[in-house]
Amino acid sequence: MIGKVPRLEQQVAWYCYRGAGWGDLHMNIDMEVLFNNAPKVAVIHLGGNNLKLPFKELFNIIHAEIRYLGDAWPEAILIWTDILEQGS
């Protein structure tokens, strides 16, 4: 006989901001940070619109935003999906 499997309560939120770049991340999640709705896992997929920036400038922006997320949500696992250049 198989025992009852405990139900895991999980919540998934999807925030989509079409055309957003790395400079927009901080501003778009400020309300979540202010109200301390820290996720257990945050998947970040953005930046294709930033590929026209010089590498050093883009690196500095990404570094600052990842640091902001780490400070805001110290217990969260941060996952960043790779930037893909958009086709023309």
Measured CA distances, 48 to 2, 21, 73, 80 (Å)? 48, 7, 24, 13
pLDDT in tens, 34-85: 676 778 888 888 877 788 889 899 889 889 988 988 888 888 888 888 766 6
Tell if the pTM clears 0.75, that is, is over it: no
pLDDT recorded at residue 56: 93
d(CA 48, CA 83): 5
Q: In 3-state terms, what secondary structure has residue 78?
A: strand
pLDDT recorded at residue 60: 92
Half-sphere exposure in the Cβ direction for 75 (13 Å, CA): 6
The residue extents of the domains of the chain are 38-80
